Structure 1
Amino acid sequence: MKLRDIAHSRTGDKGNICNISVIAYRADDYALLCHVVTAERVKAHFAGVVHGEVVRYELPGIAALNFVLKDALGGGVTRSLALDAHGKSLSSRLLDLDIRPADGS
């Protein structure tokens, strides 16, 4: 199962920092999001792209997680020649994260 099966996402940017929100479609899936989509897992998923710290914020009232990815945009919008300087495609990449339970079921 992919993260996109239970959640949607939105990104934003400020300088060389990318912000990615992950919002559960159903509040019942929020606990699974919290368990599986950790800051460490997000950092590993973006290895080679995110060179700084990844911080996770929990928003249980809206069944969402917010990730702040530092040093993630090749210098930022005004300094990078990257095709996706704002990091908008990073939400799609994160939603491709495999979230099957550890037992494989």
Structure 2
Amino acid sequence: MKLRALAHSRTGDKGNTSNISVIAYNPADYDYLEEHLTSERVKEHFREIVTGEVIRYALPRIGALNFVLKGALGGGVTRSLALDAHGKGLSSALLDLDVPDRLGHGAEAGQ
């Protein structure tokens, strides 16, 4: 099952750092997301572009996780020749991450 079945995402940037928020559609799924979306898992998912650490901030009251990816934007917005210098496409890339199927979501629920 893809992460996008359980959550939506937004990105932001500052220099060479990108932040990606993952927000559960259903607050009941937050604990599941927190269990399966670790800093290590996100760093591995972006291993080809993230050169620094990945820090996760848990925001259970709003059902969200925020990941700060250091060294993720090819030197920074004003120093990179990358097509997506601000890293806005990273949210879509993260939502493509496979997570274990969960009852009531994914193909079983007709999604």
- TM superposition score category, shorter chain reference: over 0.9
* TM-score normalised by L of structure 1: 0.95
> Take 2:69 and 2:77, find their aligned partners in 1: how far apart are those partners?
15
- CA shift for structure 1 position 48: 1.1
Name the amino acid aligned to 2:96. Answer: D
- 3-state SS in 2 of match to 1:21: strand
Query: Structure 1: any 5+ residue segments left out of the alignment?
Result: none
Q: How many residues align?
A: 101
Q: Does 1:25 align with 2:25?
A: yes
Name the amino acid aligned to 2:45. Answer: H
Query: Structure 2: any 5+ residue segments left out of the alignment?
Result: 102-111
> Take 1:99 and 1:9, find their aligned partners in 2: how far apart are those partners?
15
Paired position in structure 1 for 2:59: 59
Paired position in structure 1 for 2:39: 39
> Take 2:6 and 2:13, find their aligned partners in 1: how far apart are those partners?
24
Identical-pair percentage: 71
* TM-score normalised by L of structure 2: 0.90
> Take 1:98 and 1:48, find their aligned partners in 2: how far apart are those partners?
17
Deviations 1:3-36 (CA, angstroms, capped at 9, x unpaired): 0000000000000000000000000000010000
Q: Does 1:88 align with 2:59?
A: no
Deviations 1:35-67 (CA, angstroms, capped at 9, x unpaired): 000000000000111010000000001000000
Name the amino acid aligned to 2:79. Answer: R
Name the amino acid aligned to 2:36. Answer: V
Name the amino acid aligned to 1:13. Answer: D
> Take 1:96 and 1:58, find their aligned partners in 2: how far apart are those partners?
20
Name the amino acid aligned to 1:100. Answer: P
The ranges of structure 1 where at least 4 consecutive aligned residues each deviate by more than 3 angstroms after the TM superposition are none
- CA shift for structure 1 position 96: 0.4
